[in-house]
Amino acid sequence: MKRLTISVPDEVAAKAQRAVDAGDADSVSGYFVQLAEAEPDWVQARAAVDDMIADTDGITDADRDAVRRELGLPSDVTGVA
């Protein structure tokens, strides 16, 4: 196990301590470990998506716009791939 030192806002530290006090985490460190373990590895996810896009010769602008609409994002954002 690697030891890290992090700084968090007081509200976040208090939330972690409440989880410990309620028995939902063994320690404040354990609270953050649980959060990190539950969160997807977004770097790996992006790499997998990039590989799939490369394997299919890319995404058409129409498909990209359709997905952005489905996600509630603007379809004409400059510089967003």
- pLDDT per position in the chain (81 positions), as tens? 899 999 999 999 999 999 999 999 999 999 999 999 999 898 999 899 889 988 998 888 888 888 889 988 887 655 554
Distance CA 19, CA 8 (A): 15
From residue 40, give the alpha-carbon distance in Å to each of 36, 59, 73.
Answer: 8, 24, 22
pTM (2 decimals)? Answer: 0.59
Rounded CA separation 26/20 (Å):
6
